[in-house]
A and B are shown apart, each in its own frame.
Chain A
Amino acid sequence: MAFEALFKPIQIGSQTIRNRVVSTAHAEVHATDGGMTTERYVKYYEEKAKGGCGLCICGGSSVVSIDSPQGWWSSVNLSTDRIIPHFQNLADAVHKHGGKIMIQITHMGRRSRWDGYDWSTLVSPSGIREPVHRSTCKTIEVEEIHRIIYDFTQAARRAKEGGLDGVELSAVHQHLIDQFWSPRVNKRTDEWGGSFENRMRFGMEVLKAVRAEVGDDFVVGMRITGDEFHPDGLTHEDMKKIAAYYDATGMVDYFGVVGSGCDTHNTLANVIPNMSFPPEPFLHLAAGIKEVVNVPVIHAQNIKDPNQAQRILEGGYVDLVGMTRAQIADPHLIAKIKMGQIDQIKQCVGANYCIDRQYQGLDVLCIQNAATSREYMGLPHIIEKSEGPKRKVVVVGGGPAGMEAARVCAERGHDVTLFEANDQIGGQITIASKAPQRDQIAGITRWYQLELNRLEVDQRLGTKADEATIQDLRPDVVILATGGQPFLTQVPEWGYDADTDKSLVVSTWDILNGTVAPGKNVLIFDTICEFSGVSAADYLADKGSKVEIVTDDIKPGAAVGGTTFPTYYRSLYEKEVIMTSDLALHKVYREGDSLVAVLENEYTGALEERVVDQVVVENGVRPDEALYYSLKEQSRNKGQMDIEALYAIKPQPCLTDGGEGFALFRLGDCTAPRNTHAAIYDALRLCKDF
């Protein structure tokens, strides 16, 4: 049997976990109405349990006290008994599929925001400001310490009464417990600070009180860091000492270990390693903790592949693997292993769309799986075959929208033909994957390619579809996902010309695709500030160009998420790329062999010039609408999507209303440039009822 180590059950305290795969605690941003778990929340975890996950630890940063604000990330609120019946729903949904569910509970101390909801005064051992949230706080008083310890016990009681299998005390990510631990934050001189024992005291009192409240038949675990990676923070050796100290009480049923602290932008990027990181970069830290404790150790962080998980478990580094993003990408990961469908697992690519949304207070979604966390709306992970008529579906364009549309239609049992002008599918994902450290994004395409092959979709690569070729196929449905082109014509003064030799500017696509050779001195003007501009800068610098990236926004890469811009910055600074903000590209002209870029200060209007030999402009995508307008009048629905039906996840009426001609729909950037998730989401919700 393959994956023996993965499927070996394990005892955590009083609970038997059916396999070694955990969905570790993360903020779902789904709990609403004062922090009560919603139907959406329940269905999200039910899907994981149904898909075979052994243990779900839900509710990252679920709060135990009202002065640890719940609203910013819609986290679960355990400060009131109102939560108990909601937990019963949640526990039932997971248990009936054989899974176990626990919840992380915490007081976040200073690591929050105070400027909303109850306008709480945040507390921290020594009142030191937290930079990531720009949050100031008061120095906690002893009376408050005792109140919060009591709040922990009541939160644990509520979890137990709600039928959950355990609680995880968060002592990671610089929450209140590890704020007390860390000499970087804890400068107290009373019995709650100073010596090792004093710094440990708050966490220890919480642990003892919680254990006394819940008894032995309920799991109490702790999540800790393996090393804060701050010169003045907790080191790995400190953490081993701390772990052993708590483990010696016999009251902790497991330890979850996270590499890196997270109270700066740069360390935060380590915690949820994006695609620029190697596999399991911090496993050694978890293994170090495992050496000194006697209970199971869980470790997440870039464990995405079943073989990788098996290797880690077989090696005995840790006892359970967190495959959290892996299961956000595919909650049926375990089921697919067991069904012998490993090739059908949609593997996380580390785009970090999920976590970057979370840090903006937005619901966690997957860049490539639009069904995740939309289970409650009826969006399926496993698409059922249609019982209706078999349709001839023509999809034009093999980018994210087209790939998803073709896949879903084929899963529905329809006869699908996919046209792609390039000789491979992927669309802009292919371009994005050319940048240094971004190659893994192509994993999205890799999965679609495997699925489209499996589903026997007729893929006409290197073929541009026109009106006649489409009509020849006598389609019932035509889906256009033709994307667009870099929008370089918006400002005539940029001097763009379709003839590359004459054009004064090139696009980031030209650079990343390699259709234009890198210049020696390059100016990149990026008004979009998403991945493409910084990717092009990184690519050019990697090829030896001297690069300045300029934006009229607040900083280059401003729209790149919080866990990803730091890894770009690490790379760009190292390669001496100059990053300049607040300048717009006014004009480009040629002077001898050089190009002169005229830049205009956003705030003063002052002009300045750069003499370079290449100007790259990132100004987003202009939709390609020609094919659409040539087909629109022949279609039975005049190309119109019924958006009420679409948003309500209901079938498009034009499919059953009758009428002449094919139904015509547009998806993705050929309508308006949005992002990968938007393209895939629209494709899924449109096609799932075909």
Chain B
Amino acid sequence: MLDTLLPILLFSALALAAIGAVRRVRLWRQGRPSSVPVIKGLMQVPRRYLVDLHHVVERDKYISHTHVATAGGFVLAALLAIVVHGFGLDSAILAWVLLAATTSMFIGSLLVAKRRSPPPSRLSKGPWMRLPKSLMAFSIGMFIVTLPTAGILPEGVFQEGLGWIAALVLAAVIVWGLGEMFFGMTWGGPMKHAFAGALHLAFHRRPERFSNRAGGEHRSTGLKPLALDDDRTKLGVEVPADFTWNQLLGFDACVQCGRCEAVCPAFAAGQPLNPKKLIQDMVVGMAGGTDAHYAGSPYPGKPVGEHAGTPHGPIVNRAGGALVDAETLWSCTTCRACVEECPMMIEHVDAIVDMRRFLTLEHGNTPNKGAEVLDNLIATDNPGGFDPDSRLHWAADLNLPLMADKREAEVLLWLGDGVFDMRNQRTLRAFISVLRAANVDFAVLGTEERDSGDVARRLGDEATFQSLAKRNIKTLAQYRFSRIVTCDPHSFHVLKNEYGDLGTPETPANYHVQHHSTYINELVVAGKLTFKAWKGGSVTYHDPCYLGRYNGEYEAPRDVLRALGIEVKEMARSGYRSRCCGGGGGAPITDIPGKQRIPDMRMEDVRETGADLVAVGCPQCTAMLEGVVEPRADIKDIAELVADALIIKTPDDKATQSKPAPAAPRTVLEATP
């Protein structure tokens, strides 16, 4: 009976899966068009899966091994089951391999079950709780039915006497297994992740994220520009169908592992954001329905079951109650921790900014100080609304060389909007004293510099971003310099990764941009700086999101600290897992309340190291961390630490003059004030 039944079951499941796949693809195709190389993309899947995705999964060795055993076992078992049981190929060797595959899958399923007993809070429950059992059903069922083929049990063992009953039971088990694994894969069960995930890898909207044989950097973190001049298209994403089809596909790939939730600073702070839930809400919206079936952690403070959406219904309602509430979107610091952790390579930040774009550009609905900051940027080219001519007021005594005078310089020092902030002015002064100590040929744009556009863009105001960027690009095009160096990771990121899209043939915008820690490290390596011995206490280092995760620079700041004689006491969350300070993405401006403040949590991370001082490399981080009430560690920018340690050689150190009057004033200016 099984000989007859198995092919029927298998092919029926496959047929149903195919129907489901078509339906699922239709859901995705509701999205806006996005052209991708289909064949090339599909060809890339194995490498993207085995190299890039595995690289992320492997950070959790347990689940990595589990997944290899389970998924590897399943893929092999499924193929062989079709061959052996579907087409009835009576090969003992294949049967033995099939047995091995199902054994592997079974062991994997035990590990999956173990991980879920009980499940950590980040994992979704619901259908996911039955998945280990389904995996077992499939693997055990397939194992047993294959035993006669392998010659371990006699042929026909399931056809006589009690065998019939066993066969019925077995058939039921296999139906369960096939139902979950084949049917469920395309009809919305947990196994959907395998189907959507594979296609997501093939048609990912950021193919440049993936490695290739040529090597080189494979990082893609810049936001994609929005076409502003198309009157027919609405700006940003209002309804789920406004996402591109491959974004929708990406959402569908979510495996609800909750790694994003575990690293999200807003979620930890009790703000109404959970990246996993957000992605699931997009899936709900795409298919239509409510979030009542969602079985993971909710948005803090927002019970599940009160939100619903449709593919063409608005995601955000002013009154709430649509798919997500606006405050969820405005809670994000764009720190990219979720994207960095996502084993399915989903682009949460892109999605959030897409939705913010609609709220800001089409509705002018940027909360709290958001509208004011954007108005300031439009009117004054800086977020604080300061007189644009006052950009260099803080440096009146530094005689900074201006690009307008020099026309060319080795280093164009991009000052950033920190020029308006007294705290950051100290960092800038420190860095300038470092540049001068190393005799670097540098110049600044002075009042020609404008805000980089970072905040405007993260707040969804693409128009203001592009306006600022284009004008900055035009200014930069007038001058010759071999690199741009900045103390601000946000300017750094935007100049390096986001201006390029806005360049023109006449004014290309591909610059060699460096963060000051990288540049200082180069100066150190080149022997251009000498330091006094470090006398301070213990030091930890906080990785700025826009330097670390966005741009992969983790080592240069640490190298500089080592060169100062500092042994960095690392925080539990450092490097690519660094916890955001709370200052990115305009989050301090939109200021969505939570249960605690993100910088407080970060300073708690610092406290755990016992460090007396936390070295930073970002004006936002400095401001956020210094805003934490004392007692706490001191906060110093790397430039300040370097400037404090400098041994400055001056011309009059060499010769003692007989006259009481040295000829020329030394050009060395203190870092403070």
- What is A's interface to B at a CB cutoff of 8 Å? 1-4, 7-9, 16-19, 50-52, 84-89, 91-92, 95-99, 163, 334-335, 337-340, 387
Contacts and interface: CB of A to CB of B under 8 A. Distances in A.
Nearest to B630: A454
Given A1-B421, A99-B397, 17 more contacts: A1-B386, A2-B422, A18-B396, A52-B673, A84-B661, A85-B659, A85-B660, A86-B661, A89-B662, A92-B662, A92-B666, A95-B665, A96-B667, A97-B669, A98-B398, A335-B673, A339-B426
A1 B383 CA distance: 11
Contacts of A7: 393-394, 422
Contacts of B659: 85
Contacts of B386: 1, 4
A95 B673 CA distance: 14
A3 B390 CA distance: 13
Contacts of A1: 384, 386, 420-422
A92 B659 CA distance: 14
B423 interface: yes
A86 B673 CA distance: 27
Contacts of B669: 96-98
Secondary structure of the B side of the interface? loop
Q: Closest 6 A-B residue pairs measured CB to CB?
A: A98-B397, A88-B661, A9-B396, A338-B673, A18-B396, A18-B397
6 contacts: A4-B386, A18-B396, A89-B661, A95-B665, A334-B673, A339-B422
User: Among the interface residues A17, A19, A87, which one has the most CB atoms of the partner chain B within 10 A?
Assistant: A19
Interface string B9-33: 0000000000000000000000000
A91 B665 CA distance: 8
User: Among the interface residues B425, B660, B667, which one has the most CB atoms of the partner chain A within 10 A?
Assistant: B660
A19 B396 contact: yes
User: Among the interface residues B396, B425, B666, B670, which one has the most CB atoms of the partner chain A within 10 A?
Assistant: B396
Contacts of B672: 335, 338-339
A99 B670 CA distance: 11
Contacts of B426: 338-339
A81 to B, nearest CB: 13
Contacts of A52: 673
B668 A340 contact: no
Nearest to A456: B631
A100 to B, nearest CB: 8
Contacts of A17: 396
A97 B384 CA distance: 29
B425 A92 contact: no
Interface in B620-673: 659-662, 665-670, 672-673
A128 B396 CA distance: 47
Contact of B668 (A4, A18, A96): A96
Contact of A86 (B384, B393, B660, B668): B660
Interface in B3-54: none
B673 A88 contact: no
Contacts of B425: 338
Contact of A339 (B384, B394, B673): B673
Contacts of A85: 659-661
Given A1-B386, A334-B673, A16 B396 contact: yes
A338 B673 CA distance: 6
A84 B661 CA distance: 9
Interface in B371-417: 384, 386, 390, 393-394, 396-398
B393 A8 contact: yes
Given A85-B659, A95-B665, A98-B398, A340 B393 contact: no
B670 A50 contact: yes
A88 B396 contact: no
Nearest to B672: A335
A334 B425 CA distance: 13
A92 B423 contact: no
Nearest to A50: B670
Contact of B670 (A4, A9, A18, A97): A97
Nearest to B398: A98
A1 B393 CA distance: 12
A634 to B, nearest CB: 36
Contacts of B661: 84-89, 92
A107 B384 CA distance: 50
A8 B422 CA distance: 13
User: Among the interface residues B386, B423, B535, B661, which one has the most CB atoms of the partner chain A within 10 A?
Assistant: B661
A87 B660 CA distance: 10
A335 B422 CA distance: 10
Nearest to B661: A88
A88 B668 CA distance: 17
Contacts of B393: 7-9
A380 to B, nearest CB: 15
B161 to A, nearest CB: 87
Nearest to A100: B397
Given A92-B666, A96-B668, A338 B396 contact: no
Contacts of B394: 7
A87 B662 CA distance: 11
B269 to A, nearest CB: 25
B670 A8 contact: no
Contacts of A86: 660-661
A7 B423 CA distance: 14
Contacts of B421: 1
Contacts of B662: 88-89, 92
A493 to B, nearest CB: 59
Contacts of B535: 387
Contacts of A95: 665
Contacts of A335: 672-673
A8 B420 CA distance: 11
Contact of B660 (A89, A339, A340): A89
Contacts of A97: 397, 669-670
Contact of A340 (B390, B396, B420, B423): B423
Nearest to B389: A8
Contacts of A4: 386, 390
Nearest to B386: A1
User: Among the interface residues A19, A87, A338, which one has the most CB atoms of the partner chain B within 10 A?
Assistant: A338
A230 to B, nearest CB: 40
B631 to A, nearest CB: 9
Interface string B177-209: 000000000000000000000000000000000
Contacts of B660: 85-86, 88-89
B437 to A, nearest CB: 14
A7 B421 CA distance: 11
Nearest to A19: B396
Nearest to B669: A98
Nearest to B631: A456
Nearest to B650: A96
Contacts of B384: 1
A92 B660 CA distance: 11
A163 B665 CA distance: 9
Nearest to A334: B673
Given A1-B422, A86-B660, A338-B422, A96 B390 contact: no
Nearest to A336: B673
A55 to B, nearest CB: 11
A146 to B, nearest CB: 32
A456 to B, nearest CB: 9
A95 B422 CA distance: 21
B429 to A, nearest CB: 9
A65 B668 CA distance: 37
A84 B422 CA distance: 37
Contacts of B423: 340
B665 A92 contact: yes
A450 B303 CA distance: 47
B8 to A, nearest CB: 76
